[in-house]
């Protein structure tokens, strides 16, 4: 979590420049920005894991969303007047999806390895891509992903924790809702104003659970520092890098690159948390990565109405 994920904030659609349609150094640099954003996101999730013993999963969500909201509100300065009731309804729903996605993802992360959690979570957007494509061939990608999940379930990566797997799948469902709501918010609010407001809603909704679960530990200097690091690594930095990359990179290439997230998550889990995965689990993750890339390519040819090529990572 993600994680806009938090997986994380979807970058608003940006008009493609000439560099986006012609190969060269511009595209190579843009690819590097996307990959850098993925690494930042997943290593941010690994850092979040280090906070669980101090403030718990709800506390991590509160710290991440609060810091992210403060940064985005300061940068965007969204107008609070001049919006219709329907606009605010979209923002509130967007904030609920954002908060729910992060809370479920971190609950999963507290129980199962990072690579496993992200692999299960990415099934939400993958299913959305298959439905959006409306192609018979898309179901082949779904079957490939299912094979990966079956392999993952037969291995030891999840430690037999069914609750952790359920939380990860729930985060994936919220991620899919988040993608749809991000598109609607982007069409109703200028720039990233809708995202900033939704992040504030998510932060407010996370406060009760975070404060009850962690109490004064949320104000501990070490917890605040780690929470700020999680917010910057998982939200602010990836958003900025991807916004820059979308100025020079075709939407289809961007979306396929985002499918690398489970593999990068497994690497971050190993390097930061010492979470080793066996050959079976590694193969399962690679199958889901391939399925996600294929499904996204199909959906780019038949996108959902109003769907933009923004970030879809928690």
Residue 231 covered by a domain: yes
Task: Look at the block and give the residue holding tokens 């999680």.
Answer: 230
Residue 211 covered by a domain: yes
Banded model confidence at residue 2, pLDDT cuts 50, 70, 90:
very low
The whole-number pLDDT of residue 21 equals: 44
Banded model confidence at residue 301, pLDDT cuts 50, 70, 90:
low
Residue 163 covered by a domain: yes
Is the pLDDT confidence value at 73 over 90?
A: yes
Residue 195 covered by a domain: yes
Q: Give the Cβ contact number of residue 211 at 10 Å.
A: 16
| Dihedral sign, Cα of residue 187, residue 190, residue 195, residue 199 | negative
Q: Are 206 and 65 in contact (CB under 8 A)?
A: yes
Residue 20 covered by a domain: no
Number of folded domains that form the chain: 1
Residue 115 covered by a domain: yes
Q: For 145-160, give one letter per residue: b (16+ CB within 10 A) or e.
A: beebbebbeebebbee
Percent of the chain with pLDDT over 70: 79
The whole-number pLDDT of residue 142 equals: 78
Across the range 120-136, mean pLDDT stands at: 77
Task: Look at the block and give the residue holding tokens 């993952």.
Answer: 152
The whole-number pLDDT of residue 294 equals: 77
Is the pLDDT confidence value at 264 over 50?
A: yes
Please name the residues in contact with 240: beta carbons below 8 A apart, sequence gap of 6 or more: none
| HSE-CB of 218 using CA atoms within 13 angstroms | 22
Residue pLDDT, tens place only, 89-125: 999 999 999 999 999 999 999 999 998 898 888 888 7
Query: Which among 75, 242, 262 has a CA at the least distance from the CA of 175?
Result: 262
Across the range 44-67, mean pLDDT stands at: 92
Residue 13 covered by a domain: no
Across the range 242-246, mean pLDDT stands at: 72
Residue pLDDT, tens place only, 281-296: 888 888 888 887 777 6
Percent of the chain with pLDDT over 90: 33
Residue 293 covered by a domain: yes
Q: Which two tokens stand for residue 64?
A: 């991440």
Across the range 49-67, mean pLDDT stands at: 93
| Dihedral sign, Cα of residue 52, residue 54, residue 59, residue 63 | negative
The number of residues making up the chain comes to 314
Banded model confidence at residue 299, pLDDT cuts 50, 70, 90:
low
Q: Which domain holds residue 174?
A: 25-301
Is the pLDDT confidence value at 204 over 90?
A: yes
Classify 134 in phi/psi space as left (phi over 0), alpha (psi -120 to 50) or beta: left
């Amino acid at each position: 979590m993600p994680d806009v994920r938090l997986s994380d904030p979807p970058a608003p659609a940006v008009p493609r420049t000439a560099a986006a349609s012609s190969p060269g150094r511009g595209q190579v640099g843009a690819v590097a920005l996307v990959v850098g954003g993925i690494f930042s996101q997943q290593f941010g999730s690994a850092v979040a894991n280090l906070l669980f013993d101090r403030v718990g999963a709800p506390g991590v969500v509160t710290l991440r969303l609060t810091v992210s909201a403060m940064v985005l509100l300061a940068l965007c300065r969204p107008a609070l007047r001049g919006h219709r009731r329907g606009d605010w309804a979209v923002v509130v729903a967007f904030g609920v999806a954002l908060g729910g996605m992060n809370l479920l993802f971190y609950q999963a992360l507290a129980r199962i390895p990072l690579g496993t959690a992200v692999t299960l979570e990415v099934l939400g957007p993958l299913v959305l891509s298959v439905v959006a494509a409306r192609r018979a061939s898309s179901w082949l990608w779904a079957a490939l992903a299912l094979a990966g999940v079956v392999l993952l379930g037969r291995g030891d990566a999840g430690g037999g924790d069914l609750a952790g797997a359920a939380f990860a799948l729930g985060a994936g469902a919220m991620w899919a809702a988040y993608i749809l709501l991000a598109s609607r918010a982007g069409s109703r609010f200028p720039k990233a104003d809708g995202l900033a407001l939704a992040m504030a809603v998510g932060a407010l909704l996370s406060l009760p659970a975070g404060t009850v679960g962690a109490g004064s530990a949320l104000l501990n200097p070490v917890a605040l520092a780690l929470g700020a690091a999680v917010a910057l690594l998982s939200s602010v930095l990836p958003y900025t890098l991807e916004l820059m990359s979308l100025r020079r990179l075709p939407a289809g290439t961007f979306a396929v690159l985002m499918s690398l997230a489970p593999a990068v998550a497994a690497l971050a889990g190993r390097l930061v948390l010492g979470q080793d995965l066996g050959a079976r689990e590694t193969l399962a993750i690679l199958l889901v990565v391939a399925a996600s890339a294929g499904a996204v390519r199909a959906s780019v040819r038949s996108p959902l109405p109003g769907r933009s090529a923004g970030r879809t990572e928690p």
